[in-house]
A = this chain, B = another copy of it.
Amino acid sequence: MSYSREAMVELLRKHGISPTHQRLEIAHVLFSRCEHLSADRILALTNERFAETSKATVYNTLNLFRDRGLIREVIVDPKRVFYDPNTQPHHHLYNVDTGEITDIAADALEISGMPALPPGMVTEGVDVIVRIRAL
């Protein structure tokens, strides 16, 4: 999951995104780890060494990456959105005590009995969230 600078530039270009310095920094933060990070944390990590990216740019970039299908949002905590560099279909284990989010492989879970959709509707995705806690 770790990309060279050049590979990252290619990745962005392939998704129709101009590879600016800030976008590459943010992409690096996202793709160099397989975690589920909040915007806040991405901002902090991006500016860890040198403060060079603004909050507005982080939000702009995350929304751009999401719209272009580079990353996806994980909605489990009402307080903030998490960003997932893994856009393959998969599910999540959510530790409600610690806030930790872990992946569940898509093929691990079998879901059957999907209701028929109203005509003219399509399924955009199926998210399974397994909420767990200590004890």
A-side interface residues toward B, CB under 8 Å?
73, 75-78, 80-81, 93, 95-96, 104, 108-115, 117, 120-135
In the complex, the answer to whether A128 meets B131 with C-beta atoms within 8 Å is: no
From B104, B117, B130, A123 is in contact (CB under 8 Å) with B130
Q: Is the interface of A mostly helix, strand, loop or mixed?
A: strand
Q: Which residues of B contact A77 (CB under 8 A)?
A: 75
For this chain, the copies found in one complex come to 2
In the complex, the answer to whether B131 meets A111 with C-beta atoms within 8 Å is: no
From B122, B125, B127, B130, A135 is in contact (CB under 8 Å) with B122
In the complex, the answer to whether B81 meets A78 with C-beta atoms within 8 Å is: yes
In the complex, the answer to whether B132 meets A129 with C-beta atoms within 8 Å is: no
In the complex, the answer to whether B124 meets A113 with C-beta atoms within 8 Å is: no
The CA of A134 and the CA of B123, in the complex, are separated in Å by 9
The CA of A94 and the CA of B27, in the complex, are separated in Å by 29
